[in-house]
Structure 1
Amino acid sequence: MTKLSVNINKIATLRNSRGGNVPDLLKVAVDIQEFGAEGITIHPRPDERHIKYQDAYDLKPIVTTEYNIEGNPIADFMDLVLAIKPTQVTLVPDGNDVLTSNAGWDTITHQSFLKEVITDFKDNGIRTSIFIDTDLKLIEGAAETGADRIELYTEAFASQYEKGNTGAVKPYTEAALLAHDLGLGINAGHDLNLENIQFFKQNIPNLAEVSIGHALISESLYLGLQNVVNMYLHRLQ
């Protein structure tokens, strides 16, 4: 069974836009787990524009499923993860100025750096995953780093699937097969949604986990909107 880890960055974005503590990030994390999700994902960035570093600490005792912290392994991020010791750390090569993750690691060029970082995390009992594209050479490079898993960057698949190109899943299937043969676990994330997730799951062998945030929160807003509007109307009668 493929686990669902819910990325709650967008909840923090909404909270930060108004100040205060509405919505309550910690309560949302508790509720999401009670609703059946098997993990909570956060992706703190240096400017703390959504998840704040303090949120990462505050969530530690709240997350009773799997706790996944994503990010670029700069010094502050390394210190944060090593202090919290989540279930999993997902390494993402984000620049400070990007709105959202837009590329996977070059595991050949950065292999020595990734080996060093991954060794530190694994020595502290933290499962490691590398955010990566479907290039088979890069999958082989990921195995050489000592990582436990890869997270397939699925934006290209999602974009093409929306246009009706179901063949766009093929490179992901091939990457997953190779990763499994090399002893890597397989995660996936980015632009997966209610429209494409079932097809993706059916075509990716040994898919351990998906991390979904923006789409899931957006879909939740829309699918719940009619109910909330009606509740307000009822109270105003």
Structure 2
Amino acid sequence: WMRMLFMFSTMLISVPTGIKVFAWVATVWGGKLRLDTPMLFALGGLVMFLFAGITGIMLAAVPFDIHVNNTYFVVGHFHYVIYGATVMGVYAATYHWFPKMTGRMYYEGLGKLHFVLTFIGANLNFFPMHPLGLMGMPRRVASYDPEFAFWNVMASLGGFLLGVSTLPFILNMLSSWVLGKEAPDNPWKAIGLEWLVASPPPHENFEQIPVVVSGPYGYGSDEPLVANDPTKELASEHS
């Protein structure tokens, strides 16, 4: 009965998780995407998290979980969740906010190289854990049978590639911070008050409180976000 309880509760978790994935897809659906480094990491993380969700539903089913319980299938699922939802998101946010934090633009070529190496390395590292689990390889072991050698070698190669992928990231961050070209206030043409101030932001941000006159979904339009002179704008509205 406890297995049935755990299956029901785990399946129940999958419902809001699935809604989150659909919400993320709906956010980019029909949009004019710019496949710069931050967006590539965001989309890559979405793909990995979606795969983790599929394997999570598999683990929730009692008949399947009996076969793969305490095997490397569980380890692979866990790493897809953590890496897809966390690490890829951190990389995306780092590249997105780097111009605003430092006042410098990063090198796009190095950023995309970092993404390619990271995405390939992560999947090559974590995906082999699933067939290993299906073959019965337990987790928390110091050695394994020769029949598991192929997939373990693939996972090791992916781990090495994942380690190498951090080199262009470190090089990009350090060199861009010192030698990168000056970043504009709003390199992403984003809607938000934080992108109206200089990069990096000065103390106090604004000399006066800005008055937002744009709608929340005015992406790509020529409509200004704030009034040029908030005091005059307010006076004209009340006249």
Same fold (TM over 0.5): no
Higher strand share: 1
Question: Scaled by the length of structure 1, what TM-score is found?
Answer: 0.25
Larger Rg: 2
Question: Scaled by the length of structure 2, what TM-score is found?
Answer: 0.25
Higher helix share: 2
